[in-house]
Structure 1
């Protein structure tokens, strides 16, 4: 490989994205092999589902605090520690003698999940100029998209064709490759200006941060209230076969990658306008899903656009919190990971409730409800905290930090 390519900033950013792919693949890929896990350990599928729910709970709990604790550590070392722990935990999963050991091997590394996300986003931002930050972070988000949509069917396929153990080894191998890539190609990234825990926690005094957190919860609830039941909707309402649903998942993932690239451009140039328009466009897509959900061809087109909007929403969520607290980027990214996961939990629960009470097709209304709430919170921020005012406040805050004798 050409040395210039290896040392390029883009190459480093893609390595960071691959590390996120490995972690998300570990988190979400297990969804496709829950039946095999239940059969191997003699438990119900609902019990096996703890591998997913407890992982997400660990992420939500540790999100605000673990990145804070690691904020002073060399970012390369922090990433190696997290990915290395995922490698070890995945190897333990392969040889787990019982379900309890498997569950512990899943949950323990989940507590460090937000650390890698936070560090990777900050590292990507520090690799490029300020004007290119949104584009760099959007590229890192490709790892999220790939892990969510591509990792799951690959893992399921390996389990079906080879064995359950082989699919678990797949998690370990992907993370091992990420570990070696970070070790070999990512330069040392010492923290040059370490903020005290108190300085970082002080961002929670800002109403802007809490308003942004609420927005992130609403937007992620809106996305996952429907996406969590994506396969069920295509099965029950659109009447697609299993193979067709798999193809739709792949289509969703491919267009999602395009959504990341679009997000980089939009958030670099027109962030506030993008955030304001986003819920309206997503609401239009949900309405199209509701009215044309029983037709395969229109749904295929709708799903392609849906994938773009889904990853755009993830990027907007990350930007919304980090732009509210730029003076504490590690902590802000931890808040994003934590409350985005909380939104996933809330959205999935409410979406499931709508299905139980009204039927699968009406899950769309739960997504629309959260989009309305998200739009209201976005409008509140744009009215009360325009970008010029926020920039002025941040400059004053940075100045006070610089002259603080402590």
Structure 2
């Protein structure tokens, strides 16, 4: 009975994370409508995405830390309530400035719920099964990033921008009610002082883990950020086909999430060490088969699976370096992942400007080499100190 309850709680958390990520990423599909509705340029409309991501990166280590000693159910309800309120304001406001403020406010609370979802999922099962539980939360992350864009776009096209915004609030409201009714009170019984949690930053292992995550995420998203342009320019695909490719990539992400849970449970270090090599091989093949549609379709599928596995690896690699402070570690993971995405997209963008779009994979390969060095150094430290990987 306890196992069934934990599965039910993880499912609610998974939908909750979907709602949070859907709020963050879903607006990408309606940026032209936002620009038209608020009479701003498309570049200005893009601020609803960029400022949200910046706020998440800033609040990643701090907000989960501040709420780490508060009852987890209370914290979840607070965050969901903030998201509901901010989404309602976003749907009904006529001021673009107020829209941005509402988005930024909700973004600051984003890391609290997501980091707590990872922590609660891992704590609800035995230590050996924790990676599998966390992988289910990542399904919600992937679904929010992948399904949020097309679903919101369809809703907006068939109804209105306001209804699309209200969809975000509706998902959060459903999770709020489910949390209130079915999630028990979860007081934090083993509390660590803020100083004790922050002290994990004194560990060399945590900084090597942060570096590895920045490089791994930089490799994945540095190249992925330009995938649509690559498929259009190099592979000569139509926009309908490109949309299908992006959907395949996203669905493959969810397959990777499921696979990662099993791999990290059974062969954690081997999985982490093999990831840069596997993704590097994909990038090398991509470079040579770029102009050919069918091989590119297969590469996108494999790349998507590896990216889903990589997301789980990133979270595992940081939290396993600081198991004594899970919420703070998960917050650090969120910030590291966002920094990796930003740095990767920037570096690969500069590479494209310098030597051409087809060479974007070189940026990803360089990041993967750096991640391999970081992983090796942490492994060497583990062998000398006998700390857990």
Q: Does 1:335 pair with 2:332?
A: yes
Counterpart pick for 1:299 among 296, 299, 302? 296
Deviations 1:321-377 (A, max 9, x none): 100000111110110011111111111111221222222222111111111111111
Moved >6 Å (runs of 4+): none
Q: Distance in 2 between matches of 1:84 and 1:186?
A: 16
Counterpart pick for 2:378 among 376, 381, 384? 381
Q: Does 1:263 pair with 2:260?
A: yes
Deviations 1:120-147 (A, max 9, x none): 1110011101110000001111011101
Are residues 159 and 6 of structure 1, via their aligned partners in 2, closer, same or farther at CA, if it must alter by over 3 Å?
farther
Q: Does 1:47 pair with 2:44?
A: yes
The aligned counterpart of 2:119 is: 122
Cα pair 1:13 1:136 within 8 Å, conserved: yes
Q: Distance in 2 between matches of 1:163 and 1:28?
A: 18
Cα pair 1:153 1:246 within 8 Å, conserved: no
The aligned counterpart of 2:148 is: 151
Counterpart pick for 1:357 among 344, 354, 357? 354
Are residues 271 and 388 of structure 1, via their aligned partners in 2, closer, same or farther at CA, if it must alter by over 3 Å?
farther
Q: Where does the alignment leave 5 or more consecutive residues of structure 1 unmatched?
A: 395-406
Q: Distance in 2 between matches of 1:173 and 1:249?
A: 26
Q: CA deviation at 1:162?
A: 2.0
Q: Does 1:20 pair with 2:4?
A: no
Q: Does 1:390 pair with 2:387?
A: yes
Q: CA deviation at 1:155?
A: 1.1
What is the Cα-based RMSD across aligned positions, in Å?
A: 1.6
Q: Distance in 2 between matches of 1:360 and 1:176?
A: 43
Q: CA deviation at 1:32?
A: 1.3
The aligned counterpart of 1:243 is: 240
Q: Where does the alignment leave 5 or more consecutive residues of structure 2 unmatched?
A: none
The aligned counterpart of 2:283 is: 286
The aligned counterpart of 2:129 is: 132
The aligned counterpart of 1:398 is: none
Q: Distance in 2 between matches of 1:320 and 1:164?
A: 40
Q: Distance in 1 between matches of 2:32 and 2:193?
A: 46
Bigger drift between 42-51 and 248-257 goes to 248-257
TM-score norm. by structure 2 comes to 0.97
TM-score norm. by structure 1 comes to 0.93
Bigger drift between 247-256 and 364-373 goes to 247-256
Q: Distance in 2 between matches of 1:280 and 1:324?
A: 22
Are residues 199 and 6 of structure 1, via their aligned partners in 2, closer, same or farther at CA, if it must alter by over 3 Å?
closer
Q: Does 1:29 pair with 2:26?
A: yes
Aligned to 1:188, the other structure's residue is in SS state coil
Equivalenced residue count is 389
The aligned counterpart of 2:192 is: 195
Aligned to 1:390, the other structure's residue is in SS state coil
The aligned counterpart of 1:84 is: 81
Q: CA deviation at 1:387?
A: 9.4
Q: Distance in 2 between matches of 1:131 and 1:208?
A: 21
Q: CA deviation at 1:383?
A: 1.6
The aligned counterpart of 2:169 is: 172
